[in-house]
């Protein structure tokens, strides 16, 4: 007696591609929060495993059914086979599991596109729209009295509107000898960036603002202030007059901006991160680091313990 089930071909084993695809999507989502390198690895994994999975799922549709020899037993009496017209070729069948696999793949692809395309757009579009922040001209040096901070508010992107408004606290430290320039006397400035290095809230100077002396020159608003420290209203961060962290959750000193003097005007350069400042004014010793997002430790053991922080947009 023969068992009919033995005549059916063995189906291919379950594919591992969906697992690889899921790991890729997970890496991609994690990378969007942590780092673009992890996101890129995740995207590559998701695309590769997704394609392999799609190839598997659509194999029948594409007519690439693998050659599988059915396990059969010798029929003792071929003459016993019923006579009649040859059987028609079986129509391709789509099982429920195939349908579910294809649906899952399609939904995953749609979710991946919805999540990644806007992010990719924001990452790639600025390269084509030339929206890089430019140097800012803060105006003539006479606008900055010696030893006092001035709140300077300017537009980082010409034509960028209010969203590109930035604020720095500028203090003129007087003339100092520059050994790199044959000992010539050059103006020294301390320029603190107003973005809190905890989570990015706008830091405020602690002291009265001289609104009567306010100036607005070519879109740059200048307001002298008697600031002995700086405070962040969001979580109580406190910085001293050199931008060193004194209290609260900020993880480093306030960021500073480079500057140059061109034709008697103060030109603001790129912002950089600061670990600690010892000394004051023109004599300050600054431990300087490449700019990092708020919340990033730039020195000390914390910089080793917390090397990766969530990606944030600059501004
Ligand atoms: S954002 Fe400034 S203290 Fe939290």
What are the residue ranges spanned by the domains of the chain? 14-63+94-130, 136-305
Mean residue pLDDT across the chain: 81
| Gap between the Cα atoms of 194 and 272, Å rounded | 12
What is the reported pLDDT for 131? 44
User: What is the whole-number distance in angstroms between the Cα of residue 227 and the centre of ligand 1?
Assistant: 18
What is the reported pLDDT for 277? 93
Lowest-confidence pick of 73-82, 153-162, 221-230: 73-82
Atom of ligand 1 nearest to the CA of 249: 3
- Which residue out of 201, 204, 246, 252 has the highest number of ligand 1 atoms within 8 Å of its CB and is therefore the one to mutate? 201
- Asked whether 270 and 291 are in contact (CB, 8 A), the reply is yes
Q: Please report which confidence band the pLDDT of residue 274 belongs to, taking 50, 70 and 90 as the band edges.
A: very high
pTM of the model: 0.60
238 lines ligand 1 (CB under 6 A): no
Q: Which residue has the higher pLDDT, 58 or 204?
A: 204
Instruction: State the CB neighbour count (10 A cutoff) for residue 89.
Output: 6
Beta strands in the chain (DSSP E): 136-140, 149-155, 165-178, 184-193, 204-206, 215-217, 220-225, 229-232, 237-240, 245-247, 253-262, 265-278, 285-289
| Gap between the Cα atoms of 249 and 131, Å rounded | 32
Lowest-confidence pick of 27-31, 83-87, 101-105, 301-305: 83-87
Taking the domain 136-305, which CATH number applies?
2.102.10.10
User: What is the whole-number distance in angstroms between the Cα of residue 92 and the centre of ligand 1?
Assistant: 63
| Gap between the Cα atoms of 165 and 221, Å rounded | 10
- Asked whether 250 and 288 are in contact (CB, 8 A), the reply is no
């Amino acid at each position: 007696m023969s068992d009919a089930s033995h005549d059916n071909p063995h189906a291919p084993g379950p594919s591992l591609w969906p697992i690889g695809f899921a790991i890729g999507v997970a890496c991609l989502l994690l990378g969007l929060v942590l780092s673009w390198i992890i996101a890129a690895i995740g995207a590559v994994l998701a695309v590769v495993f997704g394609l392999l999975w799609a190839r598997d799922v659509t194999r029948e549709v594409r007519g690439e059914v693998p050659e599988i020899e059915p396990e059969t037993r010798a029929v003792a009496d071929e003459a016993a086979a019923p006579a009649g017209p040859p059987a028609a070729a079986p129509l391709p069948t789509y099982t429920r599991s195939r349908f579910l696999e294809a649906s899952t793949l399609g939904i995953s692809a749609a979710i991946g596109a919805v999540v990644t395309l806007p992010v990719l757009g924001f990452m790639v579009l600025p390269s084509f729209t030339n929206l890089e922040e430019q140097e800012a001209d803060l105006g003539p040096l006479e606008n900055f009295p010696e030893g006092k901070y001035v709140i300077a508010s300017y537009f980082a992107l010409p034509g960028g509107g209010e969203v590109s408004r930035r604020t720095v606290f500028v203090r003129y430290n007087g003339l100092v000898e520059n050994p790199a320039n044959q000992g010539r006397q050059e103006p020294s400035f301390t320029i603190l960036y107003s973005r809190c290095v905890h989570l990015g809230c706008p830091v405020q100077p602690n002291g009265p603002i001289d609104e009567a002396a306010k100036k607005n020159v070519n879109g740059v608003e200048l307001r002298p202030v008697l600031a002995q420290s700086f405070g962040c209203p969001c979580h109580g961060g406190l910085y001293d007059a050199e931008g060193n962290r004194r209290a609260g959750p900020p993880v480093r000193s306030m960021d500073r901006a480079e500057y140059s003097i061109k034709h008697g005007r103060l030109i603001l350069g790129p912002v950089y991160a600061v670990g600690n400042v010892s000394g004051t004014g023109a004599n300050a010793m600054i431990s300087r680091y490449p700019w990092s997002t708020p919340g990033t430790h730039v020195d000390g053991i914390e910089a080793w313990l917390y090397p990766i922080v969530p990606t944030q947009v600059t501004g």
